[in-house]
Chains A and B, each alone.
Chain A
Amino acid sequence: MGRVVITRLAQAGFSLLALLLLVFSLVRLTGDPAYFYLPPDANRQQVEFTRRQLGMDLPLPVQFATYVGNVLQGDLGISFKGRTLGTRVVDLVGQRLPNTMIMGGAAMVLILCIGVPLGIYAAYWRGSGLDRGARLMAALGQSVPSFWLGLLLILVFAVWIQVLPSGGFSGPSNLILPAITLSVGSIAGLSRLLRSSMIEVLTSDYIGFHRMKGLPERSVIWKHALRNAGLTTLGYLGVVTASLLTGSVLVETVFVWPGTGRLLIESIEIRDFPVVQGLILLYGGVYIGLNLFVDVLYTVLNPRLRTA
């Protein structure tokens, strides 16, 4: 089992490095940022000076090695935009990160509190009105573009009924619509997946045995059935986090939420390389790290996978 974990760890590290390299090279395809920070009539010397100031005059491998070295020390560089003030990328991201985490956390709570019971009871009362309703909602939730759903919610609750704010972040009421928007797709996916694995478990012999023993139904479902069905669903939490990360970029754009997703879009627009790199590294790192965690947890909890 230790070997499996170590292999996965090495793989994750490799993925992260590849991600870093990819973003590093891609971001440099946008064109020379020196020109972006200079007036259109800048002369050669000015361009050279800016390039040197930005560290863009060094050979690419050197730039990359320097960058990776700095990242390992927790230094993500200085924002191009704020370089005269010495604004560090870490600080810039740090300012926005709590807001994104608040939104993601709220969405995660909704996903678990709605998705799990929905999946379980849809499986339990299979074929019932609840089940059919849940399945229709799940199919809808997986097809609707989150940014459009967000707009619809703004239209209904902020423009027509005027009970909730349409954007920004000035209080708890600002959180409601973004959290709903962000969670819908994952609620759909989670409940659907849990439903199908619950159906499989509920028809198995050992669940029948637990019932024959006379265990209360609640305990059969929530303890014995969910423990087994939940295991197959656990891997899906990686997918959920991924969609929360990606979704946050879209949802933050719709709701003008001052989080890292909007920072990413803003930084891409003004070609602020270090910020883009830092954010993609953060997002990719969280994504890869969480998948690693889920994989390892999976291995620990499921003995059959230990030799894989």
Chain B
Amino acid sequence: MAGGVTTAHPRPRLTIAAETAAGPRRSIRLMPWLPIGVIGFFVLVAIAAPLLTSYDPLKINLVDRLHPPIWVNGGSADHILGSDGFGRDELARLLYGARVSFLVAAFALVIAVALGLSLGVIAGYVGNTVDAMLMRLVDILLALPTILVALVVAVAVGPSFQNLVLLLGLLIWPRIARLIRGETIVVKKQDYVRYSSAIGVPGWVVVVRHVIPNVLPTLLVLTTLEIGHVILVEASLSFLGAGLPASSVTWGKMIADGRALVATGWWIALFPGLAITATVMSFNSLGDWIRDYLDPRTRHL
């Protein structure tokens, strides 16, 4: 603070006032290039994985086990990020692991969004008993600790891609449905929606033409923020050995592999963890940005 005027508490008050007036709005408008870049990078390497490495991420080669990364003493250009306890190439596993993370998140969210959007709109638009029943169901589902239920279910029905995706979708839709319902009720009370109904426009047309376009911004923000969440849950389940079958490569599983070898092969767990953190952080900050950009009202979502 320049000037050195001493009043009781000049500094924080001025800062706050100035920032509320102009600061955040301007900084918010800047495109979040870093998160977009990180996400784009991981999506690209996930798609191009077979082109970027000639290694099979599952091929066990005990002769080459525990090679450190290239820049560490004893590392070689054969395994740029080193190799794990079974001699599998870390880089290849990292690239193929990106595929799994993104595919799981994408499919789980398709299910969650389909259920959350339709049931949320129905609950909000129809109201009454339907609303009450759906919201009780949402309350019950939201009261369940996600990872624990996912863990029990994953072990109960056996690890498979379909089961995992279905399960994650079913556990996440209530969060979406609850907020979409709220938004729907707001839209429903708008004059133009009430007039449409009054002149005899059928309910489903009102929903398709007015309600859904108006709840889309909320949905977009929620979905972006949930991607990071799904990636974290999938990694946690894989780490606990309850995510995907043993034949698939996932970042969570790589960390589990590295756990046993933490003293001899620190790089095995390090890189997948970094990848998870960078991806999740990017999706979170992108979601925050979209939220502030689209609608200052939803800032406290």
Which chain A residues have a beta carbon within 8 Å of chain B's beta carbons? 11-12, 14-15, 18-19, 22-23, 26-30, 124-128, 139-140, 142-145, 147-149, 151-152, 154-155, 159, 166, 196, 199, 202-203, 208, 211, 214, 217, 242, 245-246, 249-250, 253-254, 264-265, 268-269, 276, 280, 283-284, 287-288, 291
Number of A-B contacts (CB under 8 A): 149
Please, how many angstroms separate the alpha-carbon atoms of A147 and B233 in the complex? 11
Question: Which residues of B sit under 8 angstroms from A242, Cβ to Cβ?
Answer: 145
Question: Which residues of B sit under 8 angstroms from A269, Cβ to Cβ?
Answer: 155
Question: Which residues of A sit under 8 angstroms from B144, Cβ to Cβ?
Answer: 19, 22, 284, 287
Q: A249 and B281 in contact (CB under 8 A), knowing A29-B157, A147-B239?
A: no
The SS class assigned to the A binding surface is helix
Is there contact, CB below 8 Å, between A145 and B276?
A: yes
Closest to B154 in A: A268
Q: Which of B11, B156, B285 has the most CB of A within 10 A?
A: B156
Question: Which residues of B sit under 8 angstroms from A140, Cβ to Cβ?
Answer: 277, 281
User: B146 in the interface, Cβ–Cβ < 8 Å?
Assistant: yes
Within 8 A of A (CB), among B1-59: 8-9, 11-13, 15-17, 19-20, 23
Find B277's partner among A143, A151, A264 (CB 8 Å cutoff).
A143
Closest to A16 in B: B143
Question: Which residues of B sit under 8 angstroms from A245, Cβ to Cβ?
Answer: 145, 148
Question: Which residues of A sit under 8 angstroms from B300, Cβ to Cβ?
Answer: 196
Please, how many angstroms separate the alpha-carbon atoms of A203 and B19 in the complex? 11
Q: How far is the CB of A150 from chain B (nearest CB, A)?
A: 9
Question: Which residues of A sit under 8 angstroms from B156, Cβ to Cβ?
Answer: 26-30
Please, how many angstroms separate the alpha-carbon atoms of A26 and B228 in the complex? 27
Please, how many angstroms separate the alpha-carbon atoms of A250 and B16 in the complex? 40
User: B139 in the interface, Cβ–Cβ < 8 Å?
Assistant: yes
Which chain B residues have a beta carbon within 8 Å of chain A's beta carbons? 8-9, 11-13, 15-17, 19-20, 23, 136, 139-140, 143-149, 151-153, 155-157, 228, 232, 235-236, 239-240, 242, 252, 255, 258-259, 262-263, 266, 269-270, 272-273, 276-278, 280-281, 284-285, 299-300
Please, how many angstroms separate the alpha-carbon atoms of A92 and B78 in the complex? 50
Is there contact, CB below 8 Å, between B263 and A151?
A: no
Question: Which residues of B sit under 8 angstroms from A145, Cβ to Cβ?
Answer: 232, 235-236, 239, 252, 255, 273, 276-277
Question: Which residues of A sit under 8 angstroms from B239, Cβ to Cβ?
Answer: 145, 147, 250, 253
**Apart from A143-B284, A249-B151, what are 5 other A-B pairs with CB-CB below 8 Å?**
A11-B136, A126-B15, A151-B262, A245-B145, A250-B239
Is there contact, CB below 8 Å, between B147 and A249?
A: yes
Q: How far is the CB of A197 from chain B (nearest CB, A)?
A: 8
Question: Which residues of B sit under 8 angstroms from A28, Cβ to Cβ?
Answer: 156
Closest to B228 in A: A143
Is there contact, CB below 8 Å, between B19 and A127?
A: yes
Q: Can you identify 19 A-B contacts, CB atoms within 8 angstroms?
A: A12-B143, A22-B144, A26-B153, A28-B156, A125-B12, A125-B15, A143-B280, A145-B232, A145-B235, A145-B236, A145-B277, A159-B263, A196-B299, A202-B16, A217-B8, A254-B259, A264-B151, A280-B149, A288-B143
Closest to A238 in B: B143
Find A151's partner among B11, B20, B242, B269 (CB 8 Å cutoff).
B269
Q: How far is the CB of B178 from chain A (nearest CB, A)?
A: 14
Is there contact, CB below 8 Å, between A15 and B235?
A: no
Please, how many angstroms separate the alpha-carbon atoms of A14 and B259 in the complex? 40
Is there contact, CB below 8 Å, between A203 and B17?
A: yes
Is there contact, CB below 8 Å, between B152 and A27?
A: yes
Q: A203 and B20 in contact (CB under 8 A), knowing A147-B236, A250-B239?
A: yes
Please, how many angstroms separate the alpha-carbon atoms of A223 and B137 in the complex? 39
Q: How far is the CB of B35 from chain A (nearest CB, A)?
A: 10
Q: What are the 9 tightest A-B residue pairs by CB atom distance, in nearest-first order?
A: A148-B273, A143-B281, A143-B280, A15-B143, A29-B156, A246-B147, A18-B140, A26-B156, A30-B156
Question: Which residues of A sit under 8 angstroms from B153, Cβ to Cβ?
Answer: 26
Is there contact, CB below 8 Å, between B240 and A250?
A: yes
The SS class assigned to the B binding surface is helix
Q: How far is the CB of B4 from chain A (nearest CB, A)?
A: 18
Is there contact, CB below 8 Å, between B20 and A26?
A: no
Is there contact, CB below 8 Å, between A148 and B269?
A: yes
Question: Which residues of A sit under 8 angstroms from B145, Cβ to Cβ?
Answer: 242, 245-246, 283-284, 287
Is there contact, CB below 8 Å, between A142 and B236?
A: no
Find A139's partner among B23, B284, B299 (CB 8 Å cutoff).
B284
Question: Which residues of B sit under 8 angstroms from A264, Cβ to Cβ?
Answer: 148, 151
Question: Which residues of B sit under 8 angstroms from A152, Cβ to Cβ?
Answer: 270, 273
Question: Which residues of A sit under 8 angstroms from B16, Cβ to Cβ?
Answer: 126, 199, 202-203
Is there contact, CB below 8 Å, between B143 and A280?
A: no
Please, how many angstroms separate the alpha-carbon atoms of A208 and B147 in the complex? 44
Q: How far is the CB of A179 from chain B (nearest CB, A)?
A: 19
Question: Which residues of B sit under 8 angstroms from A253, Cβ to Cβ?
Answer: 239-240
Q: How far is the CB of B157 from chain A (nearest CB, A)?
A: 6
Please, how many angstroms separate the alpha-carbon atoms of A145 and B256 in the complex? 12
Is there contact, CB below 8 Å, between B262 and A154?
A: yes
Find B152's partner among A126, A159, A276 (CB 8 Å cutoff).
A276
Q: How far is the CB of A221 from chain B (nearest CB, A)?
A: 9
Is there contact, CB below 8 Å, between B136 and A14?
A: yes
Please, how many angstroms separate the alpha-carbon atoms of A152 and B285 in the complex? 24
Please, how many angstroms separate the alpha-carbon atoms of A14 and B156 in the complex? 24
Please, how many angstroms separate the alpha-carbon atoms of A149 and B239 in the complex? 13
Closest to B283 in A: A143
Question: Which residues of B sit under 8 angstroms from A126, Cβ to Cβ?
Answer: 12, 15-16, 19
Question: Which residues of A sit under 8 angstroms from B155, Cβ to Cβ?
Answer: 30, 268-269
Q: How far is the CB of A189 from chain B (nearest CB, A)?
A: 11
